[in-house]
Structure 1
């Protein structure tokens, strides 16, 4: 075969191969785009565990179904948390000021109220020894302000827990706050199942299990007597915030039942259903109100994997990204 014939045969074969590949591509369809890092969330009110991403370095929910945490991102789904300042003084009252920016870049001014508030603000130290549940006030221009007291130098995390009016699902955004000074981080407190705060004794029963909803019950007593007349506080007999040790992944769960529903009594127990997104240590902060004063009890609890042979509890609520 001479050179001209060889070139002609090669060109013909190349064209046939290209035509076959083109046909296969159309039959199968275009290659899928790379999937963005998934985001989910939980809520307060009838919602529960907040979720933005799972354990750092994992695809959210990859290890334990769809149980995710929130507060790990400063922006999500087009919304962003913008603190007016990220460095605050230590001691004494200070004012926190911030905005939530909407997807169009303007301050968000329309929210869906949950548990009597448009937005719940949590401030926690990175070593999880200090916790504050604040209720800021919003100005007409979308700027929120709240008085706070930063007790010691160190790093803090600010969580904004809210639902935009245009959204069906809530969000929890988080940002870092710094207090300059002689920083001496404390070891993680080990509390056991019983703690005492302001003269009240609280006993915790139940466990956090990765990927599985479980009951957490807090029994409140005072001077050896069960407290059976808890005050409604933000439309509930208790509010529970759970923070994962290490990255401060945020779960915000609320009690099973609410005042006035005909079945929920005002103590001595306040019950919750919660799902741990991963094994590890968690700090639990319970807010409750009695005789007009709000108190906060803190527990440390370790979530461990359930035995592989253990069957799910009969009647256990379905697991999901939200907790109640």
Structure 2
């Protein structure tokens, strides 16, 4: 498709509303050859979920999620399924139980009751947000998405019930306006964001836990005084290209555990649910500001990624 072609507002809304095929086929370039299997209901889901080895301080690497709007007896009810690109809009949603009742009690994890991630289908726009919850269970936060097209909204939370497990539910969001599809950036082991350089060491492996190390520097010098952000020195979100399967991993260590220091290197343990291309988003805090570095990686590829730095992600921080 000619990338200069503008898609109408109506077509852009259809792209997000009626599934990933439009976003995958035209928004992110070629689909990887080893896409996850299709089930009878037509929904793409990750492949077999291998046993996950324990992480530091009990942080197990979770399986990919966000592919379903309902799971474990809970449903993500997105009250704002459409916004206008470039226009600040109040995004509102509710998490409901099996009886359709709004959930009003959550377990706090990493300083918040709920983590909200909004990502474009081409994986070039990323938001890690923390909305406010009203007494009736309605969550809300203003968003300003810069580009038209399809987006995915992820709600990462744990209900306050004793036996409840952490869930990541996903719903589609459409941003109307002239749409220009872009390709997924090439794999790289370096990223630049707001004057910081971040280097990635390690690789994602399908069905096998592996360590990812990210080193933060500025002006050629390692940053040795990273600040805690949401109870850690860094947060990593991985999204699979194609269906945007979500993998939220936490660092191997945390401030105050007696061994983890605010050094430039942040270590994570992660398992890719399948081969394919992934987009990694690292949030870190320094001098009172949160920054996001983005990388494209290939799980299951023997070829080493080039070291050419990427530009920073369009994160539009709403942390």
Sort the TM-score into its range (normalised by shorter chain): 0.7 to 0.9
1:65 corresponds to 2:50: yes
Give the C-alpha shift of residue 191 in structure 1.
Answer: 4.5
Contact 2:45–2:67 (8 Å) recurs in 1? no
Q: Secondary structure at the match of 1:234?
A: coil
1:133 corresponds to 2:136: no
Give the C-alpha shift of residue 92 in structure 1.
Answer: 3.3
Give the C-alpha shift of residue 65 in structure 1.
Answer: 2.7
Q: Which residue of 1 aligns with 2:263?
A: 267
1:252 corresponds to 2:248: yes
Q: Which residue of 1 aligns with 2:152?
A: 157
Give the C-alpha shift of residue 168 in structure 1.
Answer: 3.2
Q: Quick one: structure 1 residues 74 and 291, their matched pair in 2 at CA, closer, same or farther if it must change by over 3 Å?
A: same
Q: Secondary structure at the match of 2:192?
A: strand
C-alpha distance after superposition, 1:210-230 (max 9, x if no partner): 011000000000011100000
Q: Which residue of 1 aligns with 2:278?
A: 282
2:201 counterpart (189, 198, 205): 205
Q: Quick one: structure 1 residues 266 and 305, their matched pair in 2 at CA, closer, same or farther if it must change by over 3 Å?
A: same
Contact 1:199–1:222 (8 Å) recurs in 2? yes
1:144 corresponds to 2:153: no
* Cα RMSD for the two superposed structures: 1.7
Q: Secondary structure at the match of 2:80?
A: coil
* Gaps in structure 2 of 5+ consecutive residues: 1-34, 53-62, 303-319
Partner Cα separation in structure 1 for residue 234 and residue 187 of structure 2: 20
Partner Cα separation in structure 2 for residue 99 and residue 138 of structure 1: 9
Which protein has greater RCO, CA pairs closer than 8 Å, 6+ apart?
2
1:297 counterpart (293, 300, 309): 293
Q: Which residue of 2 aligns with 1:97?
A: 92
Give the C-alpha shift of residue 60 in structure 1.
Answer: 6.6
Alignment: residue pair count: 253
Partner Cα separation in structure 1 for residue 229 and residue 68 of structure 2: 28
Partner Cα separation in structure 2 for residue 60 and residue 282 of structure 1: 15
* Gaps in structure 1 of 5+ consecutive residues: 1-53, 307-324
Q: Which residue of 1 aligns with 2:76?
A: 81
Q: Which residue of 1 aligns with 2:174?
A: 178
Deviates more, 1:216-225 or 1:190-199: 190-199
Partner Cα separation in structure 2 for residue 213 and residue 270 of structure 1: 16
Q: Which residue of 2 aligns with 1:113?
A: 108
Q: Secondary structure at the match of 1:141?
A: coil
Partner Cα separation in structure 1 for residue 191 and residue 125 of structure 2: 16
Partner Cα separation in structure 1 for residue 102 and residue 47 of structure 2: 34
Give the C-alpha shift of residue 116 in structure 1.
Answer: 0.4
Partner Cα separation in structure 1 for residue 188 and residue 80 of structure 2: 37
Give the C-alpha shift of residue 275 in structure 1.
Answer: 0.2
C-alpha distance after superposition, 1:235-261 (max 9, x if no partner): 000000000000000000010000011
Q: TM-score, normalised by structure 2?
A: 0.76
Give the C-alpha shift of residue 283 in structure 1.
Answer: 0.2
Partner Cα separation in structure 2 for residue 301 and residue 244 of structure 1: 10
Q: Secondary structure at the match of 1:218?
A: strand
Give the C-alpha shift of residue 109 in structure 1.
Answer: 0.3
C-alpha distance after superposition, 1:115-137 (max 9, x if no partner): 00000000000000000000000
Partner Cα separation in structure 1 for residue 186 and residue 45 of structure 2: 28
1:55 corresponds to 2:36: yes
Q: TM-score, normalised by structure 1?
A: 0.75
